[in-house]
Structure 1
Amino acid sequence: MVLRRLAARRPHVLTIAPAPLSDEVLRLRLAVEAELSRRRWPVADSPADADVVLLAGTPGPRLAAVVEAVWATVPAPRVRVAVESVAGIGPALDDAQERLRGGRRTWSDSDDERQHGRSADTAMAGLADDDRDGLLLDAVHVALGPVLPHWPSGLVVHATLAGDLVTDAHAEVLDAPATVGAGSRGRSPLGPDRTRLDVLTRLLALAGADHLAEGARDLRDRDPAPGELTAFGRRIARHRPLRWATRGIPLVGDPVGERTVTDRVVALGRALGTSLAPPPRPTADKAARTLIGLELGAARLALAAMDPDTGLGAGPVAAFAPQGVGHHHH
């Protein structure tokens, strides 16, 4: 009963959204984040931290399977809700809070499922091969995403790891065709500054600059007063802990026009409040290839900095399998 009251007061929310193959899906995800910020409901860092699982949009079959598996790992008390329009966000969150208060059982919430439910890792079993045989530096084939904090919606990166080093990587956008079509995307419905602030919100949070991330989210979700954007950009450029957290992480292959994550952060900040075009964003495939050679933590920061446009699509890729031998050794 005590846990239920605590969970209902300020529920931790895990939001899962499909790839933004349309502008409406992107706007829905942003509206959900804005409403959670307005209510001061914390964002869950993982399924284990969640009280509410919120599905923003209609998932395809691959993402739907991931949602079911993630749901099975969320501890009680828990509630799952789905929203398909901006107008439905407030009522859905109100309903979730009421259900947490009342302890009403939610769909798929049976004792049998909780005892025998699959884990989130199992949900990705069809997307990756695990090639570990107990040796410390074996090549391990893993699927990263699509439900990770500050991770692009719908993206799965199929990676080969040697220890924590990414030695190969390919991208898949769940339930998306191989190519959505150049005429259907390639622009942001947010405009230049809101696009930059959306990138910075996730990148700053992942880098541990929580106050700056909150500032970026606040500016993204409202109409800033004159000079606010420029002042915020200067704060980012002067923030030494942020420079330290991102220093030395390269962006190989010129995916966004900057050579390092630090350069990307500074460029995004300095462009705020200017008349510059929206920042370039690579395709999911190009972003994934840029991660090769990076340690896993640095790869997460690089991916957040590039903010690949998953709305451009990236079709299914085959699960990794070593060529000719049972294992890769390093």
Structure 2
Amino acid sequence: MSLLRRLAAAARPPVFPLVGDGGRERARRLRIDRRLRLVASPRHATVLLVVGDLPPDLVQPAQRVGDQVPAPRDVVVWSDAAHAPFPDAIPVAAGADPAPAVVDLHRGLMTGERASAPVIGPAENPVDWQGVGPHGQGGEGMMGGKPYGRPMASMGEEGRDGLMLDRYPVTLGPFLPWMPPGLSLDLELQGDVIQSLAVRVPALRCPEPVPSPGPPRARRHLGVVADLLVVLGLDCLAERVLRLAEDL
């Protein structure tokens, strides 16, 4: 085994948490677990950790996120759900500690003892766009089309000065770590201006119970503060807040 493989196997595993129903509090606690290193993007992970239960309408988006993790990769499902969107994932009960399974999985991937998880999604464009234009080009006319599922910008008037500028549609969610699980935002951006916004919140169908007054509710509030600090890039301060919440 090469020195590079040994060093990679000994490092803390980079983990992307994919949070479902009932998993937000557990996902927060992972931030203060020194055995793991949470990352902000699946492109920086080797292990995808599914925390909580995924409703049926989030299974396909979850699989798309899993396919974005670069090989070698694999999945751990930290849930008691009877079904999982990743059939070959390593299961961990909701009441158990997932870190040992994640560390062992990462070590096996880095040493080559465990094969990388296969791609689940189809290797084809989600939207037909090649050759659909009037002259055989991709998209429709000079604008439009969704090459490889990514919408292209279109021209529109900018309300402040009347200039015609590019408008770019983008969807945020439903698994951004700093947003509530299941929340999706459909935005249309024009420079630094949000021209339109649509909110999709499937998570409202499964609301989490509000803790009773006292330490449980204080821990919930501190967890929300920690989420805000992560958005602001103050990860170290967010960890301090979460450790304070654990001590209550």
Structure 2 length normalisation: TM-score? 0.66
The one-letter amino acid paired with 2:195 is T
Q: Which whole-Å CA distance do the structure 1 matches of 2:97 and 2:116 have between them?
A: 18
Q: Which whole-Å CA distance do the structure 1 matches of 2:8 and 2:152 have between them?
A: 42
Counterpart among 58, 71, 79 of residue 74 in structure 2: 79
The question of 1:142 aligning with 2:170 is answered: yes
Q: Which whole-Å CA distance do the structure 1 matches of 2:52 and 2:117 have between them?
A: 17
For residues 212-269 of structure 1, what are the alpha-carbon distances to aligned partners after superposition, in whole Å with 9 as ceiling and x for unaligned?
Answer: 112112112x224xxxxxxxxxxxxxxxxxxxxxxxxxxxxxxxxxxxxxxxxxxxxx
SS of equivalent residue, structure 2 residue 96: helix
Q: CA 1:8/1:74 → structure 2, altered by over 3 Å: closer, same or farther?
A: farther
Kindly indicate which of the two structures has a greater share of residues assigned to helix.
1
Partner residue in 1 for 2:247: 223
Counterpart among 193, 210, 216 of residue 218 in structure 2: 193
Q: CA 1:62/1:92 → structure 2, altered by over 3 Å: closer, same or farther?
A: farther
Q: CA deviation at 1:210?
A: 2.7
Alignment of structure 1 residues 200-279 onto 2, 5 Å:
200-220=225-245, 222-224=246-248
Q: Which whole-Å CA distance do the structure 1 matches of 2:208 and 2:175 have between them?
A: 23
Q: Which whole-Å CA distance do the structure 2 matches of 1:186 and 1:66 have between them?
A: 25
Q: CA deviation at 1:185?
A: 5.8
Q: Which whole-Å CA distance do the structure 2 matches of 1:205 and 1:175 have between them?
A: 21
Q: CA deviation at 1:6?
A: 1.3
Partner residue in 2 for 1:315: none
**Larger relative contact order (C-alpha < 8 A, sep ≥ 6)?**
1
Residue identity over aligned pairs, in percent, reads 29
The question of 1:99 aligning with 2:108 is answered: yes
Q: CA 1:57/1:211 → structure 2, altered by over 3 Å: closer, same or farther?
A: closer
Contact 1:7–1:51 at 8 Å: present in 2 too? Answer: no
Structure 2: where are the runs of 5+ without partners? 80-93, 127-145, 157-163
SS of equivalent residue, structure 1 residue 148: coil
Counterpart among 188, 193, 211 of residue 165 in structure 1: 193
Alignment of structure 1 residues 107-126 onto 2, 5 Å:
107-109=117-119, 116=123
Partner residue in 2 for 1:61: 56
Aligned length in residues: 201
The one-letter amino acid paired with 1:146 is P
RMSD: 3.4
The question of 1:153 aligning with 2:176 is answered: no
Q: CA deviation at 1:32?
A: 4.0
Kindly indicate which of the two structures has a greater share of residues assigned to strand.
2
Structure 1: where are the runs of 5+ without partners? 120-124, 225-330
